[in-house]
Chain A
Amino acid sequence: DIQMTQSPSSLSASVGDRVTITCRASQTVASYLSWYQQEPGKAPKLLISDASKLRSGVPSRFSGSRSGTDFTLTISSLQPEDFATYYCEQSYSTPLTFGGGTKLEI
């Protein structure tokens, strides 16, 4: 199984800050890497797929990148609505696996 190691597990930041979340795959996932945002009590929301493709309707302050098996999600300028938990997911091979999550707190 492909392990997705996500870091940090939690992050304290302020409105306007630039933050980066990292996911490392235990083996290649090509670019089949997605990022999701989840607010308490809600379903995850797809932000980025294919490692760097911003989904329709997602603000441009979100961006994703890939370097080999390392993936990053960057939020360029935090807004109040961005404080949530973020997950990466590899869909390269089954079993599909998610990272452990990053809780972004004020």
Chain B
Amino acid sequence: EVQLEESGGGLVQPGGSLRLSCAASGFTFSEYLMRWVRQVPGMGPMWVSSITEDGSKTTYADSVKGRFTISRDNAKNTLHLQMNSLRAEDTAVYYCARVAADGTRGLDIWGRGTVVTVSS
């Protein structure tokens, strides 16, 4: 079964750090572009970051640029999001998602999400 599973969320104080992970299974992870998307409950999703298949190119939303780092380990079928200098406004459910391989760029597989709460 094609699956993504996030982990690493939790409660952290403002200014703190968290590292999210996303374990992929059931498909050839190294062949897919991947993204992180977050969502505040009751609001629409927001794109956070993307990474190419080989990890050579990364892009970020302005609101997280310089604080978050996306990476991947294709040998371990794992995607990461290192989040530093966390702010209250980073509180959200964080999803990893796979970009469809057919060129349409839709997000065809999503994890269940991991909750990040930034609060003192």
Q: Is B46 an interface residue (CB 8 A)?
A: yes
List residues of B (61-94) whose CB comes within 8 Å of A's CBs. 61-62
B104 and A34 contact, CB distance less than 8 A: yes
* Chain A: interface size category: 20 to 34
Q: Contacts of B45 on A, CB cut-off 8 Å?
A: 36, 44, 87, 89, 98
Compute how far the CA of A45 lies from the CA of B44 in the bound complex, rounded to whole angstroms: 13
Stretch in A11-19, A49-57, A74-82 touching the partner: A49-57
Q: Which residue of the partner chain, among A43, A46, A50, A89, contacts B112 with CB atoms under 8 Å?
A: A43
Compute how far the CA of A18 lies from the CA of B97 in the bound complex, rounded to whole angstroms: 30
A53 and B95 contact, CB distance less than 8 A: no
Q: Is B16 an interface residue (CB 8 A)?
A: no
Knowing A43-B95, A43-B110 touch, does A96 contact B104 (C-beta < 8 A)? no
Q: Which residue of the partner chain, among B100, B106, B113, contacts A43 with CB atoms under 8 Å?
A: B113
Q: Is A60 an interface residue (CB 8 A)?
A: no
A44 and B107 contact, CB distance less than 8 A: yes
Knowing A94-B59, A95-B62 touch, does A44 contact B104 (C-beta < 8 A)? no
A–B complex contacts, Cβ < 8 Å, 21 sampled: A34-B106, A34-B107, A43-B110, A43-B112, A44-B107, A46-B108, A49-B102, A50-B104, A53-B102, A55-B106, A91-B105, A94-B50, A95-B47, A95-B62, A96-B35, A96-B47, A96-B50, A98-B44, A98-B45, A99-B44, A100-B44
A residues contacting B by CB (< 8 A) are 32, 34, 36, 42-46, 48-50, 53, 55, 87, 89, 91, 94-101
